[in-house]
Amino acid sequence: MRALILTGLLGFATLSGCTFPGVYKLNVQQGNIVTQDMLDQLESGMTERQVIYLMGNPVARNPFSDQRWNYIYTLEVRDKITKRYQVTLHFDDAALYSHYSGELPPEEFSEENQTSEVPPEERNPTIPSVEE
Q: Give the global pTM.
A: 0.61
User: Tell me, what's the pLDDT at 62?
Assistant: 76
Query: What mean pLDDT comes out for the span 41-65?
Result: 88
Domain presence at residue 76: yes
Residue 62: domain span: 24-106
Alpha helices in the chain (DSSP H): 2-18, 36-41, 48-55, 111-114, 120-123
Q: Which of 19-23, 59-63, 85-89 has the lowest mean pLDDT?
A: 19-23
Q: Is residue 96 part of a domain?
A: yes
CA–CA–CA angle 25, 34, 119 (5° rounding): 30
Under the banding of pLDDT at 50, 70 and 90, the label for residue 21 is low
Q: What is the pLDDT of residues 24-45, one digit of tens each?
A: 677 788 888 888 888 899 999 9
Report yes or no on 9 lying in a domain.
no
Residue 88, domain member (yes or no): yes
In a domain, 13, yes or no: no
* Residue 16 placed within a domain: no
| pLDDT tens-place string over residues 63-81 | 887 888 888 888 887 777 7
Q: Domain of 100: which CATH number?
A: 3.30.1450
Average pLDDT over residues 3-31: 73
Q: What are the tens digits of pLDDT across the range 79-117?
A: 777 788 888 999 998 989 999 998 877 665 555 665 565
Q: What total number of domains does the chain contain? A: 1
